[in-house]
Amino acid sequence: MDKKEKDVILKVDGLKVYFYTASGVNKAVDGVSFTLEKGSTMGIVGESGSGKSVTSSSVMRLMQAKTQKIVDGSITFEDIDLLKMSQKDLLKFRGDVCCMIFQNPMTSLDPVFKVGYQMVEMIREHQGISKKEAWNKAVEALKLVGIPEAEKRMEAYPHELSGGMCQRVIIAMAVCGNPKLIIADEPTTALDVTVQAQVLELLKSLQKKLDTAILLITHNLGVVWDMCDTVMVMYAGNTVEYADTGTLYREPMHPYTWGLLDSMPKLSSTSKEELTTIPGVPPDLRLTGRCCNFYNRCPYVTEKCRESVPPLVEVKPGHFVACHRQNGAEHLVRGEVNSYGE
Amino acid sequence: MLKMMLKRFLQTIPTLFIVVTITFCLTRMLPGDPAVAILGIEAKQEDIEAMRAKMNLDKSLPEQYRLYITGLVKGDFGYSYSYRQDVFGLIISRIPNTLSLTLVALVFAFFIGTAVGIAAAIKQNTWFDYVFMVLALVGVSMPIFWMALMLVLQFSVKMNLLPVMGMGDWSKGFGDVVSHMILPGFCLATIPMATFARTTRSSMIETLSSDYIRCLRARGIREWKVIMIHGLKNALPPLVTVLGLQIASTFTGAIITEGIFSWPGMGTMINTAINNRDYSLIQGTVLFSAIMFVFCNMLVDMAYLVLNPKVKEV
């Protein structure tokens, strides 16, 4: 995972985030590593509860409760150790250098303050400029993200805007600072399809303009193909596969990735065909970490899968897989269902 | 805004009319003869008859009701025989005493209660939260009369620190009035304070767990701003509702506290009125309480308009 050091903007290494609950320790993220280069886009995919969102909020050190703790690993942003950053520096980092776009734009803005107030508040929090300058800057940003009648929108309350509009406002807020990294946590899930495309286009064009890296979390494999340079597939808190988008779609190696790609609906298929699913359910996160987390749903399971955790191995340059049967020495071919007599 | 205020004002008229009718019926159901209460049980029969005629009590109930309502419309609240004064003037003269006591109590209750509520919400599930919420529960549940007596016993009788009763005298200096105010003020403030603390806590917890608060943090807004500006403004509506109710009920509900501490306010007057079967005065004070409630509710509605942009003027 070693790219030329100067290009790497974000490096996450062996990140573990545990939730301490009354019924035990939930290993929400249990050893995730990746790097993100300047100006590039990385996608994180996986089903609900696989730790995508927790991973991304950990980069911002935004834990939802005191029971959620980063217990191990490191997060490095341009040679700065984020986990050791002081609260004061963290405030400067959040919202200025690193921005986050959340899933539901309608609830992402404070409902009782006008859009303009919230934008000015944020700009002035990071830049020592007057209210008027901040106001002008906010109007500029709204224009940049393609909001018509920007001055008028500054006086609007969030509930007076549509979902797509709110998401644009939030993106505009990100643009007001000097964002080097934008974390987009399912930015289009709550929007309808045409607006989705517009928002993604907007993100792409801003990325080009500002040379920002994007960490995109999504369920939508189509969006990944469209937007991302690299993809990380997560399952039950672990990275299971990590590669260039092209490589991953062309020759996926982990059985879970095969399942994910198979479950995409195909335009060519007839309407009566049932969607393919991966049988079974993800494991209880309190019980993971003793064996391959996917063993109970994997058609290629072996004795070894039940006994030990598969390490993340670089099988080909830039292509990482965590599977006992795909570690270079062994090469599993898709469709060769269990020769181990299961 | 003006249109809405006018509309709300007109809506209060039926409410007040119902209140007036119910109090009229209830006072007539009180056992005992007001004329006897005034003249004493040894009064002569003809004196009592004369008194009854003077008070319109010899007329039929519908006729009494008609006279009472027409009087009210003309602004005549009736005459209090126990105080030998006009009811309206009597109520007006007692308002400042009660108002000073209740306002002081409420202001303290509001600020302390809200501050404790916010702190408990931030420190949810810590010892601070538990201790203060148990205290608040005790505060809401404690019988006022018992607490008042215990306070008097401890601070006035045993420790001799504070006066037992009365309102003090301005001529003896500011300190005299304040020292007289501490115990009754504390009694009156207990329930509102506990209510504010509990309401603020639950409303704050709900607000602070919402998406936009998390987004504000992600935008690098300082924590005190997140809590005191965004959190508090979003958490205010339930608090304002409670505040409106508490103002009205504290103001009129000072009956027990004022009675125990002999505070010469509305509460003491209501006590006297009931004991003397002073129909006009009872009716007057109840009507006044109803007006207070309606007025405070109106203020709360107005506050919503300011606090929540989603509430549109109708």
**B 203-232 → A contacts, CB under 8 A:** 210-212, 214-222, 225, 230
Q: Tell me the residue range of the domain where B256 lies.
A: 89-265
Q: Which residue of B has its CA nearest to A185?
A: B215
The reply to whether B178 falls in a domain is: yes
Residues from chain B contacting residue A138 (CB–CB below 8 Å): none
Using a CB–CB cutoff of 8 Å, tell me whether A96 touches chain B: yes
Nearest to A107 among B210, B230, B307 (CB): B210
Distance between alpha carbon B164 and the CA centroid of its chain, in Å?
Answer: 23
The verdict on residue B49 lying in a domain is: no
CA distance B312 to chain A (A): 12
Test the B interface: residue of A92, A103, A112 with most B CBs within 10 Å: A112
The CATH number of the domain where B216 resides is what? 1.10.3720.10
Is B170 part of any domain? yes
pLDDT in tens, A163-219: 889 999 999 998 888 889 999 998 888 888 888 888 899 999 989 988 899 999 988
B220–A91 C-beta distance less than 8 A: yes
Q: Is residue B105 part of a domain?
A: yes
Establish if B50 belongs to a structural domain: no
| Closest Cα in chain A, distance from residue B311 (Å) | 11
Q: Is residue B165 part of a domain?
A: yes
Across the interface, whether the CB atoms of B220 and A159 are under 8 A apart is answered: no
CB contact under 8 A, B214 and A64: yes
Contacts of A107 in chain B (CB under 8 A): 210-212
The distance of A76 to chain B (nearest Cα, Å) reads 18
Interface with A, mutate which of B210, B212, B229 (most A CBs under 10 A)? B212
Domain assignment present for B283: no
With beta carbons under 8 A apart, name residues in chain B contacting A173.
219
Domain presence at residue B75: no
Hey, is the C-beta of B25 within 8 angstroms of any chain A C-beta? no
- Does B310 touch chain A if contact means CB atoms closer than 8 Å? yes
Per-residue confidence in pLDDT tens, chain B, 314 aa: 777 778 888 888 888 889 889 988 888 887 777 777 777 778 788 888 888 888 778 888 888 888 888 888 888 888 887 888 888 888 888 888 888 888 889 999 999 999 999 999 999 888 999 999 999 999 888 888 888 888 888 888 888 878 777 777 777 777 787 888 888 889 889 999 999 999 999 999 999 989 899 899 999 899 899 999 999 999 999 999 899 888 877 876 678 888 888 888 888 888 888 888 888 888 888 888 888 888 888 888 888 888 888 776 54
How many domains is chain B partitioned into structurally?
1
DSSP string, A222-282: HHHHHH-SEEEEEETTEEEEEEEHHHHHHS--SHHHHHHHHTS--TTS-TTSPPP---S-P
Q: Is A93 on the interface with B (CB under 8 A)?
A: yes
Q: Between chains, do B307 and A121 touch, taking CB under 8 Å as contact? A: no
- Please give, rounded to a whole number of angstroms, the shortest distance from the CA of B222 to a CA of chain A: 7
